[in-house]
């Protein structure tokens, strides 16, 4: 049975259950950033997914990219480049990061993973970002 690793709950807010993945907004106002966790038990690598689920994951990564752009638009930091990463060295449950980047953002041009400390959204800004993401995912 699928159970979300609590590590995700600590750093992100729920958005929606897509066909395959739980989509969550990372609570880090430095970047518009969605994490997708396939709702399947005991999956660590992409190769562990069925062929159909791999295709769903690819579709949902593209959907999350559109949602990340929407979050960027409402938070005044238009996305110039999408970064996608499936790493999992620390939290092995398979997950895909979809991050909106812009020249001059705090880590640019380096990857965001492991870069400094998260800057939490203010409550109202988090709600605005969630609503923009949800509208784009619908």
Which residue ranges make up the site for its own copies (CB under 8 A)?
44-47, 54-55, 57-59, 61-62, 65-66, 81-90, 92, 101, 108-111, 113-114
d(CA 48, CA 78): 35
CB of 122 to its own copies, least distance (A): 27
Closer residue to its own copies (CB): 58 or 78: 58
CB of 81 to its own copies, least distance (A): 6
Closer residue to its own copies (CB): 25 or 67: 67
CB of 107 to its own copies, least distance (A): 9
Give me the long-range contacts of 46-54 (CB less than 8 A, separation at least 24): 46/86, 46/94, 48/94, 49/94, 53/20
Please, what's the b/e burial string for 39-72 (b: 16 or more CB within 10 A of its CB; e: otherwise)?
bbeebeeeeebeeebeebbeebbebbbebbbbbb
Note if the bond before 47 is cis, omega within 30 degrees: no
CB of 115 to its own copies, least distance (A): 10
Closer residue to its own copies (CB): 14 or 114: 114
Closer residue to its own copies (CB): 84 or 134: 84
């Amino acid at each position: 049975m699928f159970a979300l690793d609590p590590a995700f709950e600590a750093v992100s807010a729920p958005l929606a259950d897509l066909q395959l993945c739980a989509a969550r907004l990372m609570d880090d106002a430095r970047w518009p950033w969605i994490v997708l966790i396939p709702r399947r038990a005991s999956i660590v690598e992409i190769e562990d997914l069925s062929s159909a689920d791999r295709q769903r994951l690819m579709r949902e990564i593209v959907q999350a990219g559109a949602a990340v752009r929407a979050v960027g638009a409402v938070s005044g930091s238009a996305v110039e480049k999408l970064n996608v990463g499936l790493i999992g060295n620390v939290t092995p449950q398979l997950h895909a990061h979809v991050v909106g980047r812009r020249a001059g953002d705090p880590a640019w041009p380096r990857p965001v993973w492991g870069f400094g400390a998260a800057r939490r959204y203010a409550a109202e800004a988090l709600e605005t970002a969630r609503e923009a993401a949800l509208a784009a995912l619908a």
